[in-house]
Amino acid sequence: MKLEETKLKGVLKITLDAFEDHRGYYIETYNEDLYKKNGIDVKFVQDDISVSSKNVLRGIHGDQDTWKLISCLEGEFYLVVLNNDENSRQHKQWVSFTLSEKDYNQILVPPKFGNGHLVLSERTIFHYKQSTYYNPDGQFTIRWNDPEYNIWWPSENPIISQRDELGHFVD
As annotated, the active-site residues are 61, 128
Through-space distance between the first and last CA atoms of the chain, rounded to whole angstroms: 43
Q: Which residues contact 157 (CB under 8 A, 6 or more apart)?
A: 55
How far is residue 1's CA from residue 144's CA, in Å, rounded to a whole number? 32
| Residues 58, 3: Cα–Cα separation, whole Å | 26
Neighbouring C-beta atoms of residue 67, cutoff 10 Å: 19
**Strand (E) positions, 8-93?**
12-15, 18-21, 24-27, 46-53, 57-62, 68-74, 76-83
Most distant CA pair in the chain, distance: 52
H-only helix segments in the chain: 32-37, 162-166
Residue 78 has phi, psi (to 5 degrees) of: -100, 120
